[in-house]
Amino acid sequence: MHHSKPSQLHCLSQGLSGLTEGTKFHSERLEWLAQAQNQYQATSPDWLFSHIKLRLTLLELYQDYFPYQWQHSTKSTEVVSLESHTERELEFFDLLDEFRFPCERACEEFYDSLVVYAIKPDWTELSWDELDCLLHCYLALTDEFCWEQLVKVYQLEGSDLQRSASVKKVTAERLKNECDKLNSPLRYLAEAFNLIEYNSDNVWIDSNDMDPFNCEWCHENIEHLTQEYETAKVAVEHFNALNDWLSTNPERIKALVRVWNAAANDPDNPYQQLELPLVTTINSTDFVRGERLREFRETRRHYEQLVYG
């Protein structure tokens, strides 16, 4: 006997019904959603299938990662709008936020991907007076005007403070090597500067509110983001430890400058132009407004290509 192939609607109806343990979600409701998709200007005949498949994936992930909470949940799986998450989906996000990594949702608006925002402040939105001591040091080492500000604000005039080496003579590798020799919180200096520059290769640090990182909902990404979040928390702790160490005793800024100067390249080095600078010279005002961030990243990529091929 010939059996006709079940429709997508039938498969989805059966799958979702079984997954949610008997909730009243049947073909009639899916057909209603199929009609509703027209008003949202769906561009593909498979749009409905992809949309419901994603919702199934979220519920499957909930079951896999939090089976106890799933078993005892009273939150509804009913889809009342294509533009919003279900109560059960929002509960899953809350559990991820509590036990895995930040997954807060400011609203119930439906997102088809996992969105990652940086866990560090967006310093480009702050003025000089609002920045931490470590940010002042970073800017002072890369901008002549900020150097004068640093000396004035932390009352370092007339002290034995060394004049900082040009940023063009300092490489990321040399700075890291100098930091590795230290036992004080200054050993976190290179790591902290990478954090400031959005150059840590960690999505929880390098993302920002204007350009968040998006990825697919799946086990692999949840595991990866969990590991990355633990690494990012340590990096932020190191940043805060160094910042507090400097803030409580600004005289320690002198030691920071000495480490920086030790990482300067030999000016007679014929291969100096192929070294990878730690940073480019960024005007503090432009940095605060975020106007040079794109240029900064492009410059780093250019040098990385020169050095590493």
Structure tokens at 214: 């998006």
Print pLDDT tens along the chain (309 aa).
Answer: 444 444 444 444 444 544 444 334 444 454 455 454 444 444 455 777 888 889 999 999 999 999 999 999 999 998 888 888 999 999 999 999 999 999 977 667 888 899 999 998 888 888 899 999 999 999 999 887 789 999 999 999 877 889 999 888 898 899 999 999 999 999 999 999 999 988 899 999 998 877 788 999 999 999 999 999 999 999 999 999 999 999 999 999 999 999 999 998 654 554 444 344 444 444 444 444 455 555 555 655 555 554 444
Of the chain, the end-to-end C-alpha distance in Å amounts to 63
The alpha carbon dihedral of 193, 196, 201, 204 has a sign of positive
| Token digits of residue 268 | 């007679």
Angle CA(11)–CA(58)–CA(41) in degrees, nearest 5?
70
**Per-residue model confidence as pLDDT tens digits over 98-133:** 999 999 776 678 888 999 999 988 888 888 999 999
Unique residue bearing structure tokens 């009639």: 28
Give the per-residue pLDDT at 19. Answer: 44
Q: Check residue 101 and give its pLDDT.
A: 96
State which amino acid sits at residue 42.
A
Q: By C-alpha distance, which of 260, 40, 48 is closest to 161?
A: 260
Alpha-carbon gap, residue 51 to 16, rounded angstroms: 12
Q: Which residues contact 258 (CB under 8 A, 6 or more apart)?
A: 162
The Cα–Cα gap between 205 and 154 comes to 28
Question: In angstroms, rounded to a whole number, what is the distance separating the alpha carbons of residues 229 and 111?
Answer: 21
Residue 55 near residue 79, CB atoms below 8 Å: yes
* CB-based contacts of 51, cutoff 8 Å, min separation 6: 33, 37, 82, 112
Alpha helices in 20-66 (DSSP H): 27-36, 47-65
Tokens of 245: 């160490």
Query: What DSSP line would sit under 117-141, residue for residue?
Result: --SS--GGGS-GGGS-HHHHHHHHH
Contact assessment for residue 62 and residue 88, using Cβ atoms and an 8 Å cutoff: yes
Tokens 């400031």 correspond to: 196
